[in-house]
């Protein structure tokens, strides 16, 4: 590296430091200058008992100094100082919020399927599972009691070579823009007009079917 290039690099570094420090020093100097000016104006106002004049002498320069000089320079200084940190935190928290939103959406959409798999006799699991497809009140979800005659521990003790599977019947209802209602009893495959009053409420009914192994 030549002496001239080293000198240029040092001057460039000094210029960057000065460009960063000048705004901070400038608005602080203006603030101190305003305080001194205010004290001096108040002192002479007190000596001359010109309170109204002293008030205006303090007010008008204060508005000018703070509104035109101090606040913009202070805002610039704050922006230069904290903008990178704020931007980094905004990106971080945005990614957290977006990831949480996707996780919650996935949990709501697919958690019901998992809940039914691990708790096939739970009313809450079936309510969760089918509420992602159509709105159904919790009171309108009915799960029959699953028989235990296929359980290993049921007398006589041992394998029964059978099990029970859930048969789910759903009643789905929808309203058209013209106020008419339709109802489906086969999982939404076919629809027919619903002329009942009040309209049929959506329901989920779970029964159990015995299957021989």
pLDDT digits (tens, 9 = 90+) for 168-209: 999 999 888 888 999 999 888 899 999 888 888 999 999 999
SS3 103: helix
96 is a domain residue: no
Instruction: Residue 186: count other Cβ atoms within 10 Å of its Cβ.
Output: 11
Question: Which structural domain, as residue segments, surrounds residue 70?
Answer: 3-88
Q: How far apart are CA 159 and CA 41, in angstroms?
A: 101
pLDDT digits (tens, 9 = 90+) for 85-139: 767 777 777 877 778 788 888 888 888 888 888 999 999 999 989 988 888 888 8
Whether residues 84 and 8 fall in one domain:
yes
Angle, CA of 192, 197 and 203, to the nearest 5° = 60
Residue 106: inside a domain: no
Residue 81 in domain: yes
Torsion-angle region of 85 (φ positive above 0: left; ψ -120 to 50: alpha; else: beta): alpha
118 assigned to some structural domain: no
Instruction: Assess whether 10 and 84 both reside in one domain.
Output: yes
DSSP string covering 139-169 = GGEEEPPPP-TTSTTSSSPS--SEEEEEEEE
Query: Domain boundary residue among 56, 88, 120?
Result: 88
Q: Does the predicted model carry a pTM greater than 0.85?
A: no
Domain-ending residue, one of 68, 88, 108: 88
**Residue 108 covered by a domain:** no
Single out the residue in 88, 123, 152 at which a domain terminates: 88
Total structural domains within the chain: 2
């Amino acid at each position: 590296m030549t002496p001239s290039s080293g000198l240029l690099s040092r001057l460039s570094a000094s210029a960057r430091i000065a460009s960063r420090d000048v705004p901070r020093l400038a608005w602080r100097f203006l603030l101190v200058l305003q305080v001194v000016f205010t004290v001096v104006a108040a002192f002479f106002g007190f000596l001359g008992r010109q309170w109204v004049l002293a008030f205006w002498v303090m007010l008008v320069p204060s508005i000018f100094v703070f509104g035109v000089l101090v606040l913009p320079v202070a805002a610039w200084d704050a922006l230069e100082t904290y903008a990178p940190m704020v931007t980094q935190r905004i990106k971080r928290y945005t990614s957290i919020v977006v990831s949480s939103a996707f996780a919650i959406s996935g949990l709501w959409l697919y958690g019901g399927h998992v809940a039914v798999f691990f708790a096939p006799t739970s009313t809450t699991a079936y309510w969760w599972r089918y509420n992602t497809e159509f709105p159904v009140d919790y009171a309108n979800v009915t799960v029959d009691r699953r028989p235990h005659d296929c359980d290993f521990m049921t007398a006589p003790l041992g394998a029964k070579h059978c099990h029970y599977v859930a048969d789910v019947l759903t009643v789905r209802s929808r309203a058209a823009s013209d106020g008419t209602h339709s109802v489906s009893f086969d999982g939404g495959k076919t629809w027919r007009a619903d002329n009942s009053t009040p309209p049929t409420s959506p329901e989920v009914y779970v029964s159990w079917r015995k299957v021989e192994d």
